[in-house]
Amino acid sequence: MQLQSSRNCSASISSSSTRHTPLWNTWLCFRPARELPLNLNLFRRTGASLKCSGARQDEVLRSMSENGEVSILTVDGTRLVAEACRRHQTAPTASAALGRALLGVLLMGCFKAEGETTQATFNGDGILNGLQVISTSSGLVKGKVGNSLADPPLRPDGKLNVGGAVGKGVLAIVRNHEKWARPYTGLVPIVTGEVGDDLASYLVESEQSNSALGLGVSIQKDASVRAAGGFLIQVLPNASEETLQQLEQNLAGVTSVTSLLHEGATPLDIAQRLLTNLGMTDVQFSLKPKYGPCDRAELRERMKRVVALLGADEVDRILEQEGKIEVKCEFCQDLELFDKEEVKPLIQQSRPDPRLEDLTSSPR
């Protein structure tokens, strides 16, 4: 028996060892309920300010079937997604895209080796204008969208058009660790733009992982995050046909993770439901995921380097007009202020040495 995909996701896949792109970026800023369907992807190895409703706590749970053939990660990331959407002030469709990506990359990256990071970059041609998420093995995750106001017309079925907002293009996954000689980079085409389909396509094609990935984000009519969660099931190579058949049956019975979460289900409840008749070991591992944060000391140092790139004349002009320079982080959206005294050494470093100017301008 073969596990079938929940939708037609055939594509030509390639991998690449292209140059690793920076994991962190900053940009300068100078100042004077709609219910989303579960994004279910099942593969067998083959070639406005958003607020969170409810008082639940976010959690990622790692479990194993009794026969040791199935590993499962389940997540309630409602608060995490709500915090991301609050920071980025995203429109409903942008919220859904960002939320799905945060949950998916979180599941792909947590419980890895300490210090390992996972980065996913959706380079699509849709009005979202790109989507990037970074997660750590300890459950920290953050992301950004190119256009936080992206909110195209609904699909014919009345659902948010995440695929249209993301568009067609390339998904790049980068796994990295400071002890590695080089990062691992995988490239796959964006299959549907629905985020879950594309991440699942990467897992099966680039990492040869027999996986089922389900991601759900529910947005209410007032644009608040009602619920957000998902699961990642990975089947070991020695799994029996009976295990695969039972998994397929269990997955068919879980049509909406967000509905389960909204009704009070926990990641443990969802894991038990997905492992019905397969049992679960008594040992589980859990962590509390969190959006961000950026390391403030490191962030300011990187921002100083960005300010220095402006050049002395531009820095002087901004300071004369505004009295300070404000720099915003693309991921956490936090502002850092730099006054004249702090910027002065940067100006001196970027200003050309007049002795060198005299030397280059003098006749030979």
Given a cut of 60, whether residue 30 has pLDDT beyond it is no
| 182 DSSP assignment | S
The DSSP bridge pattern shows strands 131-136 and 140-145 to be antiparallel
List the single range of 25-34, 40-49, 73-82, 314-323 with lowest mean pLDDT.
25-34
Task: Name the band, by pLDDT with cuts 50, 70 and 90, for residue 42.
Answer: very low
- Nearest to 290, CA basis, from 114, 177, 138, 119: 138
Q: Can you give the pLDDT at residue 353?
A: 52
Identify whether the C-beta of residue 183 lies closer than 8 Å to the C-beta of residue 175: yes
Place 10 in a pLDDT band, splitting at 50, 70 and 90: very low
pLDDT reading at 192 higher than 80: yes
What three-state secondary structure class fits 362? coil
Instruction: Report which of residues 283 and 81 the model is more confident about.
Output: 81
pLDDT level of residue 14 (50, 70, 90 thresholds): very low
Q: How far apart are the C-alpha atoms of 219 and 155, rounded to whole Å?
A: 15
272 phi and psi angles, rounded to 5 deg? -65, -35
Domains of the chain listed by start with CATH number: 26-291 (3.55.30.10), 297-361 (3.90.1280.10)
Q: What is the DSSP string of 27-73?
A: EE-----BPPPPEEEE---------B-S----EEEEEE-TTS-EEEE
Q: pTM (2 decimals)?
A: 0.80
d(CA 103, CA 111): 14
% of the chain surpassing 90 pLDDT: 62
Q: Which of 51-55, 229-233, 321-325 has the highest mean pLDDT?
A: 229-233
User: What mean pLDDT, rounded, does the chain reach?
Assistant: 82
Question: Which sign, positive or negative, has the C-alpha torsion 11, 17, 22, 23?
Answer: positive
pLDDT in tens, 214-259: 999 999 999 999 999 999 999 999 899 999 999 999 999 998 999 9
